[in-house]
Structure 1
Amino acid sequence: MSDSLLALADAVSPVSIHAVCTRTLADRLSQLGQGAADWATLQGYKAAAGTVLVLPGDAERPQAVLFGVPETGQGTGQETGQGTGLGDTFAAGALVAALPAGDYCLAEGFPDPERAALGFALSSYRFTRYRSAEARPLPRLVIADGDMLARLRRIGAGVALARDLINTPSNDMGPAELAEAAVGLFARHGGTAEVIVGDDLLKQGFPMIHAVGRASNRAPRLIDCRWGEAAHPKVTLVGKGVVFDTGGLDIKPSSSMLLMKKDMGGAANVLGLAAMIMDAGLPIRLRVLIPAVENAISGSAFRPGDILPSRKGLSVEIGNTDAEGRLVLADALALADEEEPDLIVDMATLTGAARVALGPDLPPVYTDDEDLALALAAKAEAENDPLWRLPLWQPYMKYLDSKIADINHVNTSGAGYAGSITAALFLSRFVEKAKAWAHFDIFAWTPIERPGKPTGGEAQGIRALFALLQERYPGIK
């Protein structure tokens, strides 16, 4: 999303976008004049929810725009002076594809204008890095409220950063490029960063990150970024940064590799969230840890049946090299936990089991902190950023038993049960000192386009998390 797609009100009067439903359509058309009514009749416009009608004006610009919303009592049930509600919070994103280039504004009485504007902004995202043809000019939404504009740009920029990183193919988004993006982001906000590369990972106590990434000719690394005052509450974000996953020696079929550029989606999402936090100036001591690796195949690749040491001191039996993400996360989580932060959040494109259970749009979240779980659920609903809590079901820990090591990193039952839960349980063994911990098993991809969510790399859970952090640690509104 470009900042140019949202702007403060200026001297040029923007075209008004009016929310209408079947009950209010006639009244609105009478206010707009007989020509508008005749045009709506000619077009057969009935104000069905989500539909758009551009009313012709002069040669330079439309007269107005009508946008259909549900009748009162349908959809969200939100009410305005017109008795309409948006239904889908981001439904107004449909306007981006329907409107010609130009300046527009939401008319008075438009339901939930900030959410509608956010839907518009998120739908305006385009990934054009590799396209030689010039993109179609997009409409611009004019926002009269400067504070609202700042909030929308903050959220839009964080989401766009996550999407850009995920959408970039792996030949241009290796461990080094991911590190460059993280270091640059923190430098722009006055933060600091350290990157541990290659064999230095062994010297500094990150054997599983090294083992997963050593087969690639692009050296593995641990990215460690900090921002904020040391006296503030510590919040640490950990993101899985597997820039491409072949599956290792347990190689994936080719069809399963097609989207593996997005296997660093956890890292992309924590960086998008970090961008929001720093831009808002939240009073926290922020730390971001990203184990950045490529799970490749060579003579030095780690093998099924290997026993790996970990930073935590636990020995880990390798049950499947295609479950590499939890290994690199475990070393990073152990490091994060050593500081005893107020909150650790990890985000990872971790399991196909999560997608089988909940689909691509509803990431599971795991935590044993009841207050945190309730707060996340409330913010997920309020921000239209879906999450669903799944249990850290301790009886399933037995599925990770190993006869020769402290733990196996995959389900050893032979039945493949509870894949997402057992992955979360494995990670839980590496967190014990933090006051609270939450694990997000995200998909980081939108397979079917809809308002607010273009097809491609996606930010999941970070708007809900940002709202929660803002509430806990108020900064700039």
Structure 2
Amino acid sequence: MVPFSLIDRPSPFHAAAAQSLPVFAVTPQQVEAGSIDPVALDWARKAGFKAEAGSMLLVPTSDGRLGGALFGLGGAVVDAPFLIGKLAKMLPGGHWHIETAPVDHGQLALGFGLGAYRFERYKSAKANDPTLTLPRDIDANEIRRLVAGTYLVRDLINTPANDMGPAALESAFRALAAHEGAEVQVIAGDALLERNFPLIHAVGRAAAEAPRLLEMRWGKGKRRITLVGKGVTFDTGGLDIKPSASMALMKKDMGGAAHVMALAAMIMNAKLKVELRVLVPVVENAISASAFRPGDIYRSRKGLTVQIDNTDAEGRLILADALAYADEEQADLLIDMATLTGAARVALGPEIAPFYTDSEPLAEALMAASRTTFDPMWRMPLFKGYEKDVSARIADLTNAPSGGMAGSITAALFLKRFVDRASEWAHFDIYGWSAKDRPEGPQGGEAQAIRALYHLIAKGKG
């Protein structure tokens, strides 16, 4: 696979090379039992190497040259399935291969690929990174596909808003479609009103760059898969302006768009037998004389009226029009992804993706895919008792229920009002950001749930 990316980055993988050096991924028990390469074992014991989780020891040859590396797996293989991602940051530059490892080779290769990511678009100096030969007993194309999709999410989110506004996100969307031979349609500016997308227009009309709805179609198959992603390229909060501390990361508010684009890229590259449709409403939630106001009421594409009780609850507004449009064609599986609420992060933290669905089979399949792919997510309740909180006094719905409780649930219930026909629907309230370096990736934009979703779709369970 030629990975689609904003950045012309080198691959963390290379073809088998005669000069590649070995990595021995070992547990403490293997070192104690002496069940590893004799030369590496001798050096490990002389150096006091205990194979603690994430530790590394370079191994010399008899004549003093670099001969390989030992990497400690510790006892955290299950708790940290991508621990080997640390290796991509610790090894010297050059070609390497996994000589021995007591865990799944595909998991190791994926971990290395995820951990090798760097965002250096704005750096003058580039690092000399190590590369890894993909093991022969794995599906190399699948690993490259998953890594490329993750890189795409990270690249899109990490790019600042001055280089990733509505027009730039449209360009990336079009480039992805061209790369995979998909068809694209774009509705922008006042044409949104003419085509009945009033909420998308209202949220984005105050910005210097026009709001727009991006649509991609690809493939043929028995299953119709529709993906919808929130594309707020920057969120000031609108007239209900955010404090500066809350605005600092708002370049990531197009994370939902980045996720569905990357998931689409993986589906298309794998040539899955599906009919794929991708919808991304794109706006900047800016402040100007034409900004939408608290107290305004707008009629949505579906016909439901929405009272604006907080202009900082804009994501659900643009998703409402996009979901209503998506639902006009009955999908077998409709997925929407959005960096929607802080309440979701309070509930589950930044590393677990909350999802909502009223389909028990889909929920079970998603949780099974999560466990298989080590892609953490958790089902949250579409609790009917809170539906009254989404109602408004003088409109059908409010975009910001009062009280400040169950914010992620009420947001999901709001979106559910715009989905009627899809056979199965799931809403993902993602964070899309890692606040700290982890073995599988650095601080910054992060992909959530798309490996599990791709696995589910590829297995025909969605």
Q: TM-score, normalised by structure 2?
A: 0.95
Who is 2:6 aligned against? none
Which of 316, 340, 343 is 1:350 aligned to?
340
Who is 2:136 aligned against? 145
> 3-state DSSP class of the match of 2:66?
coil
Question: Following superposition of structure 1 onto structure 2, how do residues 37-436 of structure 1 map, counting pairs within 5 Å?
Answer: 39-57=43-61, 62-71=66-75, 75-76=77-78, 87-133=79-125, 135-145=126-136, 148-229=139-220, 231-412=221-402, 415-436=403-424
Q: TM-score, normalised by structure 1?
A: 0.92
Who is 1:82 aligned against? none
Which of 16, 23, 33 is 1:9 aligned to?
16
RMSD: 1.8
> 3-state DSSP class of the match of 1:243?
strand
Who is 1:463 aligned against? 451
Using the TM superposition, give the Cα deviation of residue 217 of structure 1 relative to its aligned residue in structure 2, in angstroms: 1.1
Q: How has the CA–CA distance of structure 1 residues 31 and 299 changed in structure 2, closer, same or farther, with 3 Å as cutoff?
A: closer
Give the aligned residue type for 1:23.
Q
> 3-state DSSP class of the match of 1:397?
helix
Partners of 1:284 and 1:473 within 8 A in 2: no
Quick check: 40-49 or 199-208, which moved more? 40-49
Partners of 1:235 and 1:341 within 8 A in 2: yes
Using the TM superposition, give the Cα deviation of residue 454 of structure 1 relative to its aligned residue in structure 2, in angstroms: 1.4
Partners of 1:366 and 1:439 within 8 A in 2: yes
What are the superposed Cα offsets for residues 378-420 of structure 1, whole Å, 9 maximum, x if unpaired? 11111111101000001101111211011111213xx211000
- For the residues of structure 2 that align with 1:451 and 1:30, how far apart are their CA atoms? 24
Who is 2:38 aligned against? 32
Give the aligned residue type for 1:15.
L
Percent of pairs with identical residues? 53
Give the aligned residue type for 1:184.
A
> 3-state DSSP class of the match of 1:166?
helix
What are the superposed Cα offsets for residues 352-375 of structure 1, whole Å, 9 maximum, x if unpaired? 000111111111100001111001
Give the aligned residue type for 2:209.
R
Partners of 2:22 and 2:96 within 8 A in 1: yes
Q: How has the CA–CA distance of structure 1 residues 317 and 398 changed in structure 2, closer, same or farther, with 3 Å as cutoff?
A: same
Which of 415, 420, 425 is 1:437 aligned to?
425
Quick check: 16-25 or 450-459, which moved more? 16-25
The number of aligned residues is 455
Q: How has the CA–CA distance of structure 1 residues 173 and 109 changed in structure 2, closer, same or farther, with 3 Å as cutoff?
A: closer
Q: How has the CA–CA distance of structure 1 residues 427 and 192 changed in structure 2, closer, same or farther, with 3 Å as cutoff?
A: same
Give the aligned residue type for 2:321.
D
Structure 1 residue runs of 5 or longer lacking an equivalent are 77-86
What are the superposed Cα offsets for residues 107-158 of structure 1, whole Å, 9 maximum, x if unpaired? 244411111110100011111111112x221111102428622111111111
- For the residues of structure 1 that align with 2:461 and 2:379, how far apart are their CA atoms? 23
Partners of 1:353 and 1:418 within 8 A in 2: yes
Partners of 2:184 and 2:215 within 8 A in 1: yes
> 3-state DSSP class of the match of 2:255?
helix
- For the residues of structure 2 that align with 1:21 and 1:188, how far apart are their CA atoms? 42
Using the TM superposition, give the Cα deviation of residue 232 of structure 1 relative to its aligned residue in structure 2, in angstroms: 3.4
Using the TM superposition, give the Cα deviation of residue 3 of structure 1 relative to its aligned residue in structure 2, in angstroms: 5.3
Using the TM superposition, give the Cα deviation of residue 50 of structure 1 relative to its aligned residue in structure 2, in angstroms: 2.0
Using the TM superposition, give the Cα deviation of residue 343 of structure 1 relative to its aligned residue in structure 2, in angstroms: 0.8
Partners of 2:234 and 2:251 within 8 A in 1: yes
Structure 2 residue runs of 5 or longer lacking an equivalent are 4-8
- For the residues of structure 1 that align with 2:381 and 2:455, how far apart are their CA atoms? 23
Which of 446, 450, 465 is 2:438 aligned to?
450
Who is 2:28 aligned against? 22
- For the residues of structure 1 that align with 2:429 and 2:33, how far apart are their CA atoms? 48
Partners of 1:7 and 1:142 within 8 A in 2: yes
